[in-house]
Amino acid sequence: MKNMRSVIISCALALALAAPVGFAAFAAPARAAAPALIRIGLEQNFKGAARIPLDNSQIEIGFSNPGNFTPEATLTAKTGFAVAPADAWFISSGAAYPTYGDALAAVLPGFFPAYTQNGWTLYGGPFATPQDAAAAKAGGKIAGPAGCRVALYDGEGIAAVFDNPGAPVLINGPQTHYISLGGRTYRGVVEFSRVSGGGGITPVNIIPLEQYLYSVVPSEMPKDWPAEALKAQAVAARTYTAYMAAGGRHSAGGYDLCDAVHCQSYTGFAGENPATNRAVDETAGVMTYYNNQPIQAVYFGSDGGATQNSEDVWTQALPYLRSVPDTYQTEYKTWTRSFTLDDIQNCLARAGYDIGGATGVSVGSLSPAGYVASLVISGTAGSQTLTGSEIRAFFSPTDLGSLPSACFTIGPSAAPGQSAPLYVCGASGAAGSAPSDFSVMGADSVAGGVAAVYVMGADSVADYPLINPPAAGVITFSGKGAGHGAGMSQYGAKGMAQAGFGYRQILEYYYTGVDVR
């Protein structure tokens, strides 16, 4: 029986640690087409879970043969099911059966079907210690904790144990073909297996790529946005998925992507919408290529007037992730964050930086697109310079979390009698001077000095509110945009769609030198 089934995950797999959000520091292998099936690790609610509830009253258990779900048995339970690690001791009857049904028909009092590397058998238990198992074995063989077992519960007790490191159990909804885990419903099948050496279970949703996108697109872009913007989002998400699946970010965990924003937001069936499903269907199979390979089609919410070069956000310069002016984005996200020096001190400690007591924060340099490229944290015993994605992430330990973008100014901090110019996205002039395409919108007195605010393209002060002088010991950041700034701006895509551009034109604008097909 085991020869009929192909193994798709090994018990020796370990969960992968998260890589920097939005960018993979690796080059994807050559791959011209997207995978038909995608494996999504359901980390948000169940990463390494000790118990996972299944709300279905009826499920189908099965295996991979090869890559396709092969049903083994249909189980019914009025109160639903649950899956959990099985680290206890058991008694093995030693008998072998070809199917779950045969094992169930031959079940002994206190025993239940168990799938092992030799096929189906019967287990008795569970027992807390080997001594307890030995005392009750009644001629059976003791099966100790293997660190790989998964137990399926049916509301009354154990319905089956899966003790094979080569064949994790796959569960399907036989009537609806939907599986509900802890109140969240998914298409496809869900796989349950153990990580190396024990630990919990991270379920893996195995689903056709296009159905996966049904949930991703409305999770990443509002469903009521223009159709061409939704299509651009569908193609970007499809391309990004293909690139990441080929690159293997989560291969150590046994899946292609996770369900968090770390990869792409995926909430399952409940997040689907007819408008976004249509955008996926009408672009089915279409991806964005550079040199005939799917690109790393990163995207973000809103920029500050221009997108970023990839190397100014992360480290690798990619030819298709070049800075472009965002002339079609008409809606800009503006934000303000204020931090005390105590907040900054806590962030330093959490990051492992020792520069004494925090005394201030200043902009070190700007990227060609006008984003903050380096941020200097000053202390009583030195300074620490932050660059790239760390600039935003540095503030994550605070109550306000990471900075929405790296397109910001820092609040007035002038010494008495001096001026403190505030740099805004796009500024390239020397301190105290305003570039020709900037307007001085107003000024506040700061401890006897003046803090001028330079704003590019603003028609009124309301377009970019002035920063009032902060309280003593408080550092204020005021910025535009949301996200890392590289690739496709989602608000920019919306603006281009509203201006009459098609999804291919949108993608070709934000991704330099690409082919959309």
pLDDT tens-digit map of 180-239: 998 899 999 999 988 655 578 999 999 999 999 999 999 999 999 999 999 999 999 999
With contact defined as beta carbons under 8 Å apart, do 510 and 307 qualify?
Answer: yes
Q: Which helix (H) or strand (E) holds 302?
A: none
Residues 203, 345, single domain; the answer is no
Q: How confident is the model at residue 13 (pLDDT cuts 50, 70, 90)?
A: very low
Does the residue 35 lie in any domain?
yes
Q: Which amino acid is at 241?
A: T
Q: How sure is the predictor about 146, in pLDDT bands with cuts at 50, 70 and 90?
A: confident
User: Which of 5-31 are b and which e, b meaning 16 or more Cβ less than 10 Å from the residue's Cβ?
Assistant: beebbebebebbeeebebbbeeebeee
The answer on 204 and 63 residing in a single domain is yes
Report pLDDT digits (tens) over 457-468: 444 333 334 344
For β-strands 334-340 and 358-366, DSSP reports them as unpaired
Whether the CA torsion 47, 53, 54, 60 is positive or negative: it is positive
Last residue of a domain, one of 191, 209, 227: 209
Highest mean pLDDT among 68-77, 120-129, 161-170, 389-398: 389-398
Residue 245: inside a domain: no
Residue 474 lies in a domain: yes
Residue 254 CA, distance from chain mean position: 16
Rounded to the nearest integer, the mean pLDDT of the chain is 82
In a domain? residue 236: no
The model's confidence at residue 430, banded by pLDDT at 50, 70 and 90, is very low
What does the pLDDT average to over 234-246?
Answer: 95
pLDDT of the residue at 356: 97
CA 217 to mean position of chain CA atoms? 14
- pLDDT higher than 50, residue 117: yes
| CA-based nearest residue to 475, from 396, 418, 405, 395 | 395
339 and 204 in a common domain: no
The helix (H) or strand (E) run that includes residue 398 is none
267 within domain boundaries: no
Would you say residue 444 has pLDDT above 60? no
User: Which residue, of 209, 234, 263, is where some domain finishes?
Assistant: 209
Residue 289's pLDDT band, with cuts at 50, 70 and 90, is very high
Model-level pTM?
0.80
State the pLDDT at residue 437: 43
Least confident piece of the model among 47-56, 79-88, 104-113, 433-442: 433-442
Q: What pLDDT sits at residue 392?
A: 96
Domain hosting residue 201, numbered range:
2-209
Q: Is residue 115 part of a domain?
A: yes
How many structural domains are present in the chain? 2
Q: Looking at the domain assignment, is residue 200 inside a domain?
A: yes
**Same domain (yes/no): 13, 147:** yes
* Torsion angle (degrees, nearest 10) of CA 280, 281, 284, 288: -30
Give the pLDDT score at 485.
Answer: 96
Distance of CA 86 to the CA centre of its chain: 29
pLDDT at position 422 is 43
Last residue of a domain, one of 187, 209, 231: 209
148-152, 395-399, 471-475, 484-488: which range is least confident on average? 471-475
pLDDT digits (tens, 9 = 90+) for 408-422: 999 754 333 333 444
80, HSE (Cβ side, Cα atoms, 13 Å): 12
Angle between helices 227-247 and 503-510 (to 10 degrees): 50
Considering only CA atoms, which of 261, 187, 203, 197 is closest in space to residue 37? 187
Q: Are 441 and 466 in contact (CB under 8 A)?
A: yes
Examine residue 265 and state whether it is found in any structural domain, yes or no: no
The reported pLDDT for the residue numbered 35 is 86
